[in-house]
Amino acid sequence: MARADRTKPIEMEVHEQHQAQGQARIEQSLVPLIFEESVAGRRGVDLPARGFPSRPAVELIGADLCRKNLRGLPELSEPQVMRHFLRLSHLNFAQALQFYPLGSCTMKYNPVLNDECAAMPGFADLHPHTPDHLAQGALELMARLEQALAEVSGMDAVSLHPAAGAQGELAGLLIIRAWHHKQGRPRTKVIIPDTAHGTNPASSTLAGFEAVVARSGKRGYLEAAEIRRLMSDDVAALMVTNPSTLGIFEPQICEIADVLHQHGAMLYVDGANFNALLGVAKFGDMGADVVHFNLHKTFSTPHGGGGPGAGPIGVKRHLEPFLPVPRVVKDGGGWRLDSDRPDSIGKLRSFHGNFAMLVRAYAYILALGADGLAQVSRRAILGANYIRARLREHFPTATDEPVLHECVLTHDLEEKGVSTLDIAKRLLDFGIHPPTIYFPLVVHGAIMVEPTETETKQTLDEFVAAMEHIYNEAQTNPQLLKDAPHTLALSRVDEAQAARHPVLRWQPKD
Ligand SMILES: *Cc1c(COP(=O)(O)O)cnc(C)c1O
């Protein structure tokens, strides 16, 4: 991994502000390893004076449990440690620091209020084995969140159990499988459109189905005729994202649901793109039998970097008995967890989901209310269409259909030897996290932009300006793009090498 050559002149003309940002980043690239800052004997903690006699650790826990060699542990003062990690955190791109239009990920602002609620001791310190009668508040919160999600999605029952979108998919498909099984007619296939998110075919394979590809029509959406063509008694369900990964609404969804239901098959809607529909349209009204939600996208719980997620599922009445256990149920004046459900698909994870995520999502829903949620999707849609309209000349969208909460852009810069990856890397120099690229697969060199509702028009204008700037650079100096980014601590890394041979341990020098 080569550090950017800092002696090389930055031969580009970016806005002064961006240049200043870039300079700051280069300075940060000088952040030493914490081990390099270490000075023998320096202390970061002050332990109180001992009021009791001390004994060597070996005597207390035995030599086999004591490390032989503690050489190389860093020794720093407390402020040094704080500064070190804060500086490191600024080397990252983060939603809290930069515009983050990563398509299909809904990197909206996560209100800090939600974190405060999740950190309330009554929630944060609750042990998952706490008896129901001492956890009534937490159980009620879960029940209320389930109700709110059922309401906005038009589904009859919700389970908060799955830990992520993909696990919600698996749960939903296992439910569909169990339902067909219970009817005495097990089915083997799930239809998945060519615009599907990669997790869809993966989940259906994991759930024991064979994935059958449906081709989207000329205008980019799925046509009922294609589903009719693929229908057979083996088809258990269609799994479709609405709006699709092209960011466009599936206008034939109701007719498609009818075709499926006539053949005894189900409609699974991947609701990860719910940010486009909140408060405006309901999956239940579209004929969905199962949906999953991504609380860590739509409902503003933090995500990225492998943090915890939450992928609740919603089902229509006939599928409720199959939901994972435990269920939160009303019991007299209170709530209890119920695992006595013979048709349930069982547990997919320990305990009750990532509970702190549930608190955040519920706080978000309460803070916005019904009107606020509808505003979310309206503003998200407005933002994406604004970007689409402003960039139309040089980065036209993949289809002519109006877009919802995100837009998939294309370009002709390959003629100049500039790839989508080069454009994405160059955006980093403008202090912008790259959009999702090369996805969906059906669009050559796709640039998938999801601005989200929390950005100002000014930010969207800056993004447009950066994209136009990059387009012009491609005409005059394509090499500049091929070498980008120029202003970060690291330039292009060998991703294959980094994945196959990660260096995870610091080796003390002798
Ligand atoms: C993000 C996403 C998923 C997967 O969700 P995870 O929580 O990352 O597992 C599935 N489908 C679509 C359309 C998505 O955008």
Atom of ligand 1 nearest to the CA of 199: 10
Asked if residues 257 and 323 have their Cβ atoms less than 8 Å apart, the reply is no
Question: What's the rounded Cα separation, in Å, for the pair 102 and 153?
Answer: 24
Is residue 159 in contact with ligand 1, taking CB distance under 6 Å?
no
Find out whether the beta carbon of 104 lies less than 6 Å from any atom of ligand 1: yes
Q: Show the beta-strand stretches assigned E in 113-181.
A: 157-159
Closest Cα to atom 5 of ligand 1 = 165
State the pLDDT confidence band at 130, using cuts at 50, 70 and 90. Answer: very high
Among 294, 296, 313, say which to mutate for ligand 1: greatest number of ligand atoms within 8 Å of CB: 294
Look up tokens 């289809």; give the residue. Answer: 399
Burial 19-38 (b: 16+ CB within 10 A, else e): eebbeebbeeeebeebeebb
Take residue 408 and report the two structure tokens written for it.
């998939």
What DSSP line would sit under 386-447, residue for residue? HHHHHHTTTS-BSSSSPPSS-EEE---GGGGT--HHHHHHHHHHTTB---EES-STTSTT-E
Is the CB of 275 inside a 6 Å radius of any atom of ligand 1?
A: no
345 alpha carbon to ligand 1 midpoint, in Å? 21
Helix (H) or strand (E) holding 337: strand 334-338
Sheet-wide strand order for 436-437? 407-409, 447-449, 436-437
Report pTM. 0.88
Spacing, Cα 400 to ligand 1 middle (Å): 25
CATH class of the domain whose range is 370-496: alpha beta
Probe ligand 1: pick from 160, 195, 199, 436, max atoms within 8 Å of CB? 199
Backbone φ, ψ for residue 222 (5° rounding): -80, 135
Closest-CA residue, ligand 1 atom 2, reads 272
- 270-293 residue pLDDT tens: 999 999 999 999 999 999 999 999
pLDDT digits (tens, 9 = 90+) for 413-470: 999 999 999 999 999 999 999 999 999 988 999 999 999 999 999 999 999 999 999 9
Structure tokens at 346: 């069982």
> Ligand 1 centroid vs 194 CA: distance in angstroms?
16
Q: pLDDT at residue 23 above 70?
A: no
Ligand 1 near 107 CB (within 6 A): no
- Give yes or no for residue 197 CB within 6 A of ligand 1: yes
Distance 344 CA to ligand 1 centre (A): 24
**Residue ranges covered by each domain of the chain:** 115-367, 370-496
Q: Output the CA 297–ligand 1 centroid distance in Å.
A: 9
Q: Give the atom of ligand 1 at the shortest distance from the alpha carbon of 166.
A: 9
The confidence band for 352, taking pLDDT boundaries of 50, 70 and 90, is confident
**Quick one: average pLDDT of 8-34?**
53
At 227-249, the pLDDT tens digits run 999 999 999 999 999 999 999 99
Instruction: Identify the helix (H) or strand (E) that includes residue 190.
Output: strand 189-193
244 lines ligand 1 (CB under 6 A): no
pLDDT band at 12 (very low <50, low <70, confident <90, very high): very low
Q: Per-residue pLDDT averaged across 191-195, rounded? A: 94
Residue 249 to residues 59, 399, 403, 406, 418, Cα–Cα distance (Å): 68, 12, 7, 11, 31
**Cis status, amide bond into 502, omega within 30 of 0:** no
Q: At the top level of CATH, which class does the domain 115-367 belong to? A: alpha beta
Which residues is 408 bridged to in the sheet? 448
What's the whole-number mean pLDDT along residues 353-367?
Answer: 95
CA-to-CA distance for 413 and 402, rounded, in angstroms? 24
- pLDDT by residue (tens digit) across 72-128? 789 999 999 999 998 888 878 888 889 999 999 999 999 999 999 999 999 999 999
